[in-house]
Amino acid sequence: MLKRIVGVLATATAAVGLLAGTASAADLIRIGSFLSATGPASFLGDPEKKVLELYVDKINRDGGINGRKIELIVYDDGADAAKAGSFAKRLIESDKVDVIVGGTTTAATMAAVPLAERAEIPFISLAGAVVIVEPVKKWVFKTPHTDRMAAEKVMLDLKKRGLSKLALLSEDSGFGKSGREETLKVAKERGIEIVADEIYGAKDNDVTAQLTKIRNNGQAQAVLVFGLGQGPVVVTRNYRQLGMSLPLYHGHGVASKDFIKLAGGAAEGVRLPAAGLVVAEQLSNADPQKKVVMAFTETYQKQFQAEPSTFAGHAYDGLMLAVEAIKRAGTTDKAKVRDEIEKTKGYVGTGGTVTMSATDHMGLGLDAFHMVEIKQGNWQLAD
């Protein structure tokens, strides 16, 4: 019996130790993060986690920020919004971080937004949807381009090619749904007619039924697919199997080399809006982004032997926005850091040039997107 009690006590002490273990060293700058490193969004969260760890290490080796080292605390929310909320609370209440850079998915981000607002702590999200920064929330910022921007970019390209009738095929995931809504809105504003509006399941392994409907529609002059991960690959393959030849557009969610690899030859000729990061080498030397994205790509490749996806870039931008703001503020005072993030002007990142304001907490313009076309298994600038 005594042994058992001792055992229980030891376990309890160990448990308390684990919880308290991260609380020490006051002069560290504490950056907290919750990411979907595992689960259905791991293809986004995993590179984000790697990048945060890599660059925090790098900054610390170079002497830290204003002489203070960074401590990075990362939790894995498994793409579950309830868990994300729990971890956000843990970062705020228990780890007492100075700033949060994280939130892989829109749902995870939105679960943490009220917490960050209440605790008055700067929060830079890595998720896509417009709702995160519209309406503007005082303490919340984001780095990725929005789905609305992607839709705008596609519409502009359509107009340039003289096309006005679009068939839309979107995924039933959060990303696809939000993308669909924004596309419908933007199409109206830009005078593009949506002649078909089909939906497929994120886990479907055959989409020929929806594609056949679009093919037989007769009016469509181009097809836009809004999805993430494996869905767009299936769509692209089916598209070629059906011998469809209308111009095929994808959202910005497929801008990773994996997409080209998985879709194989079917990806030839696909157009999509993407950040300068994926076409780093083709950017003109006058482009201010060139230096930044080349350096990032090189560092990432050296460390992980893979090409960075745009999602890895979002994490880099988020971290750097926070680091720059802390540097300028000269303190980790939350209100001052927040003000400095909002004052970010002309920061050149992997996603584009960021200039924030009190009414714009993302700070990216439409010029942050390039229209790229897949040619011979590689990205090719098309604008």
List contacts with another protein (CB under 8 A).
Answer: 1, 15, 18-19, 21, 37-38, 75-76, 79-82, 85-86, 89-90, 92-94, 105-107, 110-111, 114, 129, 131, 172-174, 177-178, 181
In the complex, the smallest distance separating the C-beta of residue 199 from another protein, rounded to whole angstroms, is 9
Give whichever of 79 and 368 is closer to another protein, judged by the CB atom: 79
Q: Which is nearer to another protein, 172 or 360 (CB)?
A: 172
Closer to another protein by CB, 85 or 363: give it. 85
Q: How far is the CB of 303 from another protein (least distance, A)?
A: 17
Q: Measured from the CB atom, is 106 or 289 closer to another protein?
A: 106
User: Which residue, 178 or 289, is less far from another protein as judged by CB?
Assistant: 178
- The distance of closest approach from Cβ of residue 65 to another protein in the complex, given in angstroms and rounded to an integer, is 24
Q: Which is nearer to another protein, 50 or 153 (CB)?
A: 50
Q: Taking the complex as a whole, how short is the minimal distance between the CB of residue 180 and another protein, in angstroms? A: 9
Per residue, what are the HEC states of the chain? CHHHHHHHHHHHHHHHHHHHCCCCCCCCEEEEEEECCCCCCHHHHHHHHHHHHHHHHHHHHCCCECCECEEEEEEECCCCHHHHHHHHHHHHHHCCCCEEEECCCHHHHHHHHHHHHHHCCCEEECCCCHHHCCCCCCCEEECCCCHHHHHHHHHHHHHHCCCCEEEEEEECCHHHHHHHHHHHHHHHHHCCEEEEEEEECCCCCCCHHHHHHHHHHCCCCEEEEECCCHHHHHHHHHHHHCCCCCCEEECHHHCCHHHHHHHHHHHCCCEEEEEHHHHHHHCCCCCCHHHHHHHHHHHHHHHHCCCCCHHHHHHHHHHHHHHHHHHHHCCCCHHHHHHHHHCCCCEECCCCEECCECCECCCCCHHHEEEEEEECCEEEECC
Minimum distance, C-beta of residue 136 to another protein, in the bound complex (Å) = 16
Min. distance of Cβ 80 from another protein in angstroms? Answer: 5
